Amino acid sequence: MGRWEPGASGRLRQAAMELYVERGYDQTTVAAIADRAGLTARTFFRYFADKREVLFAGSESLQDSLVAALDDAAPDASPMQAVAAALDAAADFLGDRRDYSRQRQSVIAANAELRERELIKMASLAHALGDGLRRRGVPEPDASLAAEAGVAVFRVAFDRWVNDPVDRPLAQVMRESLVQLRTVTTR
Amino acid sequence: MGRWEPGASGRLRQAAMELYVERGYDQTTVAAIADRAGLTARTFFRYFADKREVLFAGSESLQDSLVAALDDAAPDASPMQAVAAALDAAADFLGDRRDYSRQRQSVIAANAELRERELIKMASLAHALGDGLRRRGVPEPDASLAAEAGVAVFRVAFDRWVNDPVDRPLAQVMRESLVQLRTVTTR
């Protein structure tokens, strides 16, 4: 009781994703996830509030890493250079989890409630990046526009990355998409 | 019974907004909205599925008008020129409803469920604009990037417009924000 389970959180996350893909999200219970991971439901609830949080527990850390990179960008960096630094941090955070990210995307795409939750996380990210840019002294509407543009690039690049038949580095896809946004908006 | 009520839908919308602002959204009932409009709840339900739909009934028409403008843009228009035409249509659609739009925004901002609904509508708009650009032959990722950029400009410009102490034409704020996005992304 209350014993620390080595790697329990990772095993639960892996087990949950397998079941969501095999049976569907709605058909998967916490009991089944714990069982697949060789753990108890009690242990599950020590790490996650519910089966939805298994999919979104990383979103907050991801946002924190983007904001930290934005804060750490050189003081003379332009708003988009600071946003580019945040996108590099996102690539570092997610870059070695392409298979997990692709599975997660397909599970979320199949469920309206999860799609909504993901939209809320993306809106929260845009808000946090906007706040970070304003802390750097970027005026409005530049801060909001750069933050929204950054999240647009993040979404489009992430989607390309997980669905690309070739496994290319996420950082590279992010940078290409950022350049492409510039090309598209100036044409 | 079943009688046509002249302007009933507009009166219900106006009454609902007054009550949402006065009492709060959660505290307002359909019965109170109908009463304020001098109509019955039965009449309310002929126009709206529930009290939430009073706020979102226009979103579909707004999206349709943006997509129609995108489709009608000159065949040789660039992706962002086609998106700019869609934003002009949005300004036409909303431009004479600044007070209503400001009230609607404050009601939505105060309620988590309504904020989520609005996020879903914005995601739907980005999706529809992306589809429209792909119909025009715009390849990926340009179509998705231009669509997301367009929605970013729409959101930022709309927010500036409703909160500006000076009542400026929405079309002008949209165009300025579009130019500003270009400046921000190229710097």
Quick: pLDDT tens for B25-63.
Answer: 999 999 999 999 999 999 999 999 999 999 998 888 999
C-alpha separations of A145 from A89, A149, A151, B46, B182 in Å: 20, 6, 10, 40, 10
- When divided into structural domains, chain B yields a total of 2
CATH code of the domain containing B13: 1.10.10.60
Residues of A in contact with B186 (CB under 8 A): 182, 185-186
Whether B63 and B134 map to the same domain: the answer is yes
Whether B38 and B113 map to the same domain: the answer is no
The pLDDT tens digits for A114-151 are 999 999 999 999 999 999 999 999 999 999 999 999 99
- Residues B67-81, mean pLDDT to the nearest whole number: 96
Q: B50 CA to chain A: closest CA distance, Å?
A: 20
Choose among B91, B30, B90, B103: nearest CA to B63.
Answer: B90
Query: How far apart (Å, rounded) are the C-alpha atoms in residues A177 and B3?
Result: 56
Secondary structure (3-state) at A49: coil
Whether B69 and B37 map to the same domain: the answer is no
Choose among A75, A128, A119, A141: nearest CA to B148.
Answer: A119
CB neighbour class for B49 (10 Å; exposed up to 12, middle 13-18, buried from 19): exposed
- Residues A151-178, mean pLDDT to the nearest whole number: 94
Choose among A174, A119, A87: nearest CA to B141.
Answer: A174
Whether B43 and B108 map to the same domain: the answer is no
Give the model's pLDDT for residue B96. 86
Whether B86 and B135 map to the same domain: the answer is yes
Whether residue A1 is contained in a domain is answered as no
Whether A142 and A87 map to the same domain: the answer is yes
Query: How far apart (Å, rounded) are the C-alpha atoms in residues B86 and B80?
Result: 10
Choose among A162, A185, A157: nearest CA to A173.
Answer: A157
Say if residue A4's pLDDT is above 60. no
Residues of B in contact with A155 (CB under 8 A): 144, 148
Q: B162 CA to chain A: closest CA distance, Å?
A: 14
CB contact under 8 A, A141 and B155: no
Whether A38 and A88 map to the same domain: the answer is no
Query: What is the radius of gyration, based on Cα positions, of chain B?
Result: 18
Whether A35 and A101 map to the same domain: the answer is no
Whether residue B3 is contained in a domain is answered as no
Whether residue B1 is contained in a domain is answered as no
Whether B111 and B29 map to the same domain: the answer is no
Full domain range(s) for residue A148? 56-186
The angle, 0 to 180 degrees and rounded to 10, between the axes of the packed helices A79-94 and A53-72 is 140
Q: B135 CA to chain A: closest CA distance, Å?
A: 17
Whether A60 and A31 map to the same domain: the answer is no
A171 token code pair:
């950082």
Residue found by looking up tokens 């946004």 in the block = A181
> Sorting pLDDT into bands at 50, 70 and 90, what band is A3?
low
The pLDDT tens digits for A30-60 are 999 999 999 999 999 999 999 999 999 888 8
Query: How far apart (Å, rounded) are the C-alpha atoms in residues A108 and A114?
Result: 5
> Sorting pLDDT into bands at 50, 70 and 90, what band is B73?
very high
Query: How far apart (Å, rounded) are the C-alpha atoms in residues B7 and A100?
Result: 53
**Contact between residue B68 and residue B148 where contact means Cβ atoms under 8 Å apart:** no
Whether residue A3 is contained in a domain is answered as no
Whether B88 and B177 map to the same domain: the answer is yes
CATH code of the domain containing B87: 1.10.357.10
Whether residue B180 is contained in a domain is answered as yes
Query: How far apart (Å, rounded) are the C-alpha atoms in residues B147 and B145?
Result: 5
